[in-house]
Each structure stands twice: as C-alpha cells, then as structure tokens.
C-alpha cells in the first residue's frame, strides 16, 4: 500500500498558547534552530494524511446492524466498515427534502456492493413511534438485529445567551433523546436473545466543551451518561454498551460549518497534529462491535488524535 507523506504543518501550528513562535518545540537550546537529527526524527514520526483502508474483523458475518443517520459522514463510514465484515445493514436518514434521498441511495449502493443485504428509509429519531416501527421492520426484513450504532446527530452552535429554545430543543432531542428512542426500542430484542452490541457516537465536547456549544456539549455529555447507565442495565443480558468520542473529523456536516481557524487550532492542539477521518471513527466502532471487545462495556473511547491530552 502506498504511504502518503504529508506536508508538515507550518511552524506556527506547533505553538501552544503563551509560547513564542521561535521554531520547532524540539529546537536546539543554543540557536533556536532544529538540528539535522531532530529534523530526521520529525520526518520519521509524521502521520499520514490519508487513513489506511480498514481491516475487517471476524465473527460479524451474517449479523444485522442498525446504524442511525448513515447516509453521510461518520454513519456511512461505520455502515460500510460493518458491511465489509459481513453485516447486513439497516439505516435511517432524515428526509430534509434536498439531497438526502440521493445520499441514502448512494450509501445503500455502496453497502450492497459488499455483498450484504440492506434496508433503509427516512425515519426521524425524535419520533419514538416511528423509531419503534422501524426497528420492527428491520427485524422482519433482515431477519434479526444484533448491533446498534447511534450516530444521528446535529449541531446548532450559538452563545448560550443568544440561543433560541428551538436550537436547544432540536439538538437535545436529536442527539440524546433520539439515541434513547433507538436504545429503548432494541433493548427488549437484545435482552431476549441475550446478545447485543451498542455503540453511541458521543464527542470530545461531551467531555470538554468550547464556546458556543452549550446545547451540543450537553447532549453528548448526556449520551455518555446514557451509555454508562445502559451498560449497567443491559450487562446481565450479555449486551455491551460503549461510546466513542470523536474529535474534529473532516468531511462531515458538523465540521463543514466550523471556521477554518478553529480547525487549524484543533489540529495544532492534538498530539498527532491532524484532523480525523470518518474511517478513523469507523475503525473504533468496528472493534467495539466485534467479539474482540466482548469484555468491554461502559467505556468512552476518544478518537481524537490526542486532543483531550
């Protein structure tokens, strides 16, 4: 496989708040300039700009996974990763009367190319009755249900003193209440068969917030709490419930609206010095859905390039 050498970020990207912009942080003490040995070291540890293709995992072939909000971004990457490992995939999407139907159809086509069966339709995760009906349809159409990936989420960023009721309610009801609706709907199925995997897509901002994210951070912090409570309640039925907490991920609707200077700052603050890709999150989800993680439950796994360090 071809390895892509990235262009190293400008020296200002290495600077932390309060530091002088005088060169690399590993510069020699004498003249403030990197030695050849340090330059060689930096070249050796630089990260790839494009993620490697995901490996498949065993033990998933023939199972059925439901991935919410999987028509684009992280949800699509998770669905494709699971399909490559042999999972039949169901997913929902929110019909926004724009490109949503064509995006969902494109995702379904990509999944079917992996040789698995798929089922999808527009379902608003905020509608508990619609969620319950969809879960029943998934079981009837695909012959069962074994995995739930709660990915559907939105952002409505604004300073809290300017935030409208609708902006608060939409984010909480989608990111937290919607996940609860799906988790509640699948819980009886997983308990009855004494097996199930649940992975909730939380966020680093559910652990450490930033300006303008009161609604989003509250929803993701709540999702982390829901993960831990569900792990306790469903554990006796052999159901694993975990969460992943992505940092800033490229090519998603949530980051499309983030100013470039904030993304640059996030890149500089991460230990690996880069933004993530949806496949990075999908890899963590794939592991938590596999039997390799059968003794892991109630955790929150950051996928953030060391942003929280």
The catalytic residues are 216
Q: What is Dmax (Cα atoms) for the chain?
A: 71
Question: What are the distances in angstroms from CA 241 to CA 112, 233, 237, 285, 304?
Answer: 27, 10, 11, 11, 20
Q: Give the whole-angstrom CA distance, residue 191 versus residue 188.
A: 5
Decide: 60 and 89 in contact? Cβ < 8 Å.
no
∠254-169-213 over CA atoms, to 5°? 45
What lies within 8 Å, CB to CB, of 307 at 6+ separation is: 204, 247, 248, 266, 269, 270, 271
Decide: 79 and 57 in contact? Cβ < 8 Å.
no
Residue 183 backbone dihedrals phi, psi, to 5 degrees: -65, -45
Counting Cα atoms < 13 Å in the Cβ hemisphere of 217 gives: 14
Count CB-CB contacts under 10 A for residue 137: 14
Q: In what order do the strands lie in the sheet with 118-122?
A: 118-122, 88-93, 64-67, 147-150, 196-201, 239-246, 300-303
Alpha helix positions (H), the chain = 36-45, 73-84, 100-112, 128-142, 165-172, 178-193, 214-234, 253-256, 260-269, 278-289
Q: Give the whole-angstrom CA distance, residue 98 versus residue 309.
A: 39
């Amino acid at each position: 496989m071809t390895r892509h050498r990235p262009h190293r970020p400008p020296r200002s990207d290495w600077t932390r708040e309060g530091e002088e912009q005088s060169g690399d942080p590993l510069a020699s003490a004498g003249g403030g300039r990197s030695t050849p040995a340090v330059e060689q070291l930096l070249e050796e540890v630089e990260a790839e700009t494009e993620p490697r293709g995901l490996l498949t995992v065993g033990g998933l072939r023939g199972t059925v996974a439901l991935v919410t909000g999987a028509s684009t971004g992280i949800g699509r990457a998770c669905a494709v990763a699971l399909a490559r490992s042999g999972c039949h995939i169901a997913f929902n999407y929110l019909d926004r009367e724009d490109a949503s139907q064509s995006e969902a159809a494109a995702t379904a086509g990509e999944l079917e190319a992996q040789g698995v069966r798929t089922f999808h339709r527009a379902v608003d995760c905020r509608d508990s009755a619609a969620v319950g009906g969809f879960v029943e349809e998934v079981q009837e159409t695909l012959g069962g249900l074994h995995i739930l990936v709660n990915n559907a989420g939105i952002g409505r960023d604004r300073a809290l003193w300017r935030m409208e009721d609708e902006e608060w309610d939409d984010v909480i009801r989608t990111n937290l209440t919607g996940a609860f609706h799906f988790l509640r709907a699948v819980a009886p199925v997983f308990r009855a068969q004494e097996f199930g995997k649940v992975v909730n897509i939380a966020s680093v901002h559910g652990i450490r917030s930033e300006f303008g994210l009161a609604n989003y951070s509250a929803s993701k912090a709540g999702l982390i709490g829901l993960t831990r409570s569900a792990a306790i309640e469903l554990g006796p039925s052999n159901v694993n419930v975990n969460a992943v907490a992505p940092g800033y991920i490229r090519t998603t609707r949530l980051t499309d609206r983030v100013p470039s200077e904030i993304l640059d700052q996030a890149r500089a603050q991460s230990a690996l010095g880069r933004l993530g890709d949806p496949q990075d999150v999908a890899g963590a989800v794939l592991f938590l859905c596999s039997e390799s993680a059968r003794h892991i439950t109630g955790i929150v796994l950051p996928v953030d390039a060391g942003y929280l360090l």
